[in-house]
Amino acid sequence: MPRSHAVHGRVIVHADLDCFYCQGELAKHDLRSVSAGFHQVEHVRLGIPTSVPLAVQQWDGLIAVNYEARKSGVKRGDRTAAAKQKCPQITLVHVETIGADDKPDGAGTRNDKGACKVSLERYRTASFAIMAIFQAHCRRVERASIDEAYLDLTEEAAKLCQEVEAGNARDVADSPETDLQGTAGHHVDPTNAFDRALLAGARLTAAMRLAVKQELGFTVSAGIASNKVLAKLASSMNKPNKQTVVPAGASSDMLDTVPLRSVRGLGGKLGETVVSWSKAETSSDLKRFSQQDLAGNFGTKTGEWLWRACRGMDDEPVAPNLKPKSLSVCKSFTPVRDEESVLNWVRLLCTELSHRIAVDRETWSRRATKLTLQMISLKPGSRSNQREAGGGNGKGNTSTTRSRTVDIPGGGESPTTASLVSEAMAVFAKTDNALPCSRLALTAHEFSGLVSGRGSIASFLRVLPPPPPQQPMPPPTSPLEKSGSKGVKPNAKEALAVGPSGQAGGGRSLPEGDDEDVPGRETAEASTASREVPRVGSKDGSRVDRSRNFQPSSHLAGGAHDERTAPSPLRPGRERCPKCGKVLTQEELQEHLDFHYAEGLQERYNREGDVARDMARLSNRRGLPKRKIHEAGGGEGAKSQAKRPAAGPRIDSFFKPT
């Protein structure tokens, strides 16, 4: 039996940036990530108003077109010559590129595809700044692509409804900023509990969109519904810069006229296969097939998903995943037949990757440990291979894709461009039949948290003024006081604790190959590297991301909390210690983390001394060979450790109380 209708009571939002790349060129600020956060400086690239027709090009094709240019018939994918013919007054700007001098071309004038590669750093940085604002308004945010996200506002909407009932907020039905039309003739019913929750979510979404506009200059369209399928459809109904609510009664009917390929999850190969098999053009056309029919052709899980999706039923959760699982750069080019040409492309890729690794290290307090090189080579005897070599017809136009993974060089430090180039070329040289090569991709992945420090324990201690002289203790008045008391040793934290971020959760991987990462394409479909995504028709069917939640107050300190137990957002300027949960100011947090680390070192030192003393006692009783005693740290050294004076200042005496 099919599961019940989509979870009524959830408030799911799909937030979609309007013409994101174009806005990135016209935004009020040029966003650059630095160690202190997403810093804003005056925008210097374009100085034209938003009313001017604008398109962003990558080589000879358009990857983004603003609404003014769309009025003249210009659309994404057009060639530049065709765009100018349709709209002579259009302004074309090329995405930034990285050339042979290893420096980004901010002016966008260096666009030789045979010598440069594109860089999406401008848009990627803006994307994460926008996601940080989303996170400040919602606890559960799932980044679907570079310019869109899903948010679960169920908890926040319920709290707002409670405030309204208590008389502490205006009624949620008073929402002039929300478009309630265009949903198959259905209207929001303010007396319906579920619709009131959606209206509360609409007010929260409007506040979030306003914050993005005021702080960063970007406009956002949004859809508010009970699930991801309906929210995504609603976000595109009243673009640009508007939001639409899907009432409870419109969940099924609004899909009847929507093209089947527009439904979330059916825009790729699965949708193509379904349309080819069913001859269905809209969701209503697919409704004539029973769940058994669909399961017989597409499998049990995919069949059930299709049956429910065409009826507007979807219970997939919002899976927080703002921390990237991997960092990827790639380049496709005309097949090259010598290692010198490969080296030139590898150098460009490593230039960008080393920068992204350094930024990721500062932002998330972690380091990548693995480097994967993927290469596409033409097979011997293929038509393309023979044509490149000047030969005749071959057996077919075939290629082979291979990947090799090695440790990232640097010994824990951020790798340099030169070290990455050396490692990548060594891998390439060891690969048989790697030439001719037509594509290269480099991915940094498998992150581990940074330890607070690597030096001596003195590097963790703040120099404090000497304490005042101690007053003499009063004479003992009882036998117990006369004999003294050792006190109870407090429980220490784990020795050598991992830094505040830890390894990224097993969430959806977010490699962003610059040749493929375009706005409007969900990450699950845009990626060219393997990663865990909810893929309809897979054996596990409903696999979803369980990555840890992203807290806005700690997105630079690397704080991570489990999405099921994440606390409420903190006040600006406050951080939560990932070890003990204590709330501190940003200035106090680093020293507080150092204290945990130093305390762990002291506890380990104490434990090693205990082991040595135990081994010494065993050797006296059982005649343990001296060699074994030495290996365990026992013997004479253990005796000296056993006689360590108990008195003396502890680690915590060097730190200011917090």
Tell me, what's the pLDDT at 475?
Answer: 44
Please, what is the average pLDDT of the chain? 73
* Non-local CB neighbours of 407 within 8 Å, separated by 6+ positions: 369, 370, 371
Instruction: Give the closest residue to 158 by CA, choosing from 123, 204, 209, 121.
Output: 204
Q: Which amino acid is at 439?
A: R
Token pair 């500062």 in the structure block, residue: 362
Residues 251, 164: Cα–Cα separation, whole Å: 26
* Non-local CB neighbours of 597 within 8 Å, separated by 6+ positions: 451, 452, 453, 460, 496, 497
Tell me, what's the pLDDT at 264?
Answer: 87
pLDDT in tens, 484-536: 433 333 333 332 233 333 333 333 333 334 444 445 555 433 333 333 333 43
pLDDT in tens, 214-251: 999 899 999 999 999 999 999 998 899 999 998 877 87
Model confidence at 45, in pLDDT bands (50, 70, 90)?
Answer: low
Tell me, what's the pLDDT at 330?
Answer: 96
Q: Which amino acid is at 396?
A: G
Residues 232, 240: Cα–Cα separation, whole Å: 14
The DSSP output letter for 396 is B
Q: Poorest-confidence range of 83-92, 203-212, 574-583, 641-650?
A: 641-650
pLDDT at 618 over 70: no
pLDDT in tens, 523-576: 433 333 333 333 434 434 443 333 333 333 333 333 333 333 444 456 666 677
pLDDT in tens, 12-25: 999 999 999 999 88
Tell me, what's the pLDDT at 461?
Answer: 44
Q: How far is CA 590 from the centre of its chain?
A: 24
CB neighbour class for 583 (10 Å; exposed up to 12, middle 13-18, buried from 19): middle
Tell me, what's the pLDDT at 612?
Answer: 52
Q: Which residue intervals of 226-338 are DSSP H helices?
A: 228-235, 269-278, 283-286, 291-298, 300-309
pLDDT at 582 over 90: no
Residues 639, 396: Cα–Cα separation, whole Å: 77
pLDDT in tens, 137-187: 999 999 999 999 999 999 999 999 999 988 888 887 776 666 554 455 567
The DSSP output letter for 277 is H
Residues 614, 628: Cα–Cα separation, whole Å: 13
Instruction: Give the closest residue to 20 by CA, choosing from 125, 105, 118.
Output: 125
Token pair 């939640």 in the structure block, residue: 549
Tell me, what's the pLDDT at 412?
Answer: 79
Residues 103, 117: Cα–Cα separation, whole Å: 11
Model confidence at 105, in pLDDT bands (50, 70, 90)?
Answer: low
Tell me, what's the pLDDT at 627?
Answer: 44
pLDDT at 581 over 80: no
Tell me, what's the pLDDT at 4?
Answer: 38
Which domains are assigned to the chain?
Answer: 1-249 (3.30.70.270), 326-449 (3.30.1490.100), 587-654 (no CATH)
Mean predicted confidence (pLDDT) in 368-381: 91
Tell me the three state secondary structure of residue 204: helix
Mean predicted confidence (pLDDT) in 387-393: 48
Region class of 102: left (phi > 0), else alpha (psi between -120 and 50), else beta? left
Tell me, what's the pLDDT at 435?
Answer: 94
Tell me how long the chain is. 658
Mean predicted confidence (pLDDT) in 103-115: 68
Tell me, what's the pLDDT at 2?
Answer: 38
Tell me, what's the pLDDT at 457?
Answer: 42
pLDDT at 603 over 70: no
Tell me, what's the pLDDT at 250?
Answer: 80
Is the preceding omega at residue 240 within 30 degrees of 0, hence cis? yes
Mean predicted confidence (pLDDT) in 402-428: 93
pLDDT in tens, 282-312: 988 999 999 999 999 999 999 999 999 988 8
Q: Which residue intervals of 365-456 are DSSP H helices?
A: 383-389, 417-429
The DSSP output letter for 466 is P
Mean predicted confidence (pLDDT) in 616-635: 46
Percent of the residues in the chain that have a pLDDT greater than 90, as a whole number: 45
Model confidence at 474, in pLDDT bands (50, 70, 90)?
Answer: very low
Choose between 141 and 583: higher pLDDT: 141
Token pair 């959830």 in the structure block, residue: 10
Tell me, what's the pLDDT at 38?
Answer: 41
Token pair 């960092």 in the structure block, residue: 327
Choose between 20 and 636: higher pLDDT: 20
Q: Where are the beta strands (DSSP E) in 359-398?
A: 366-378
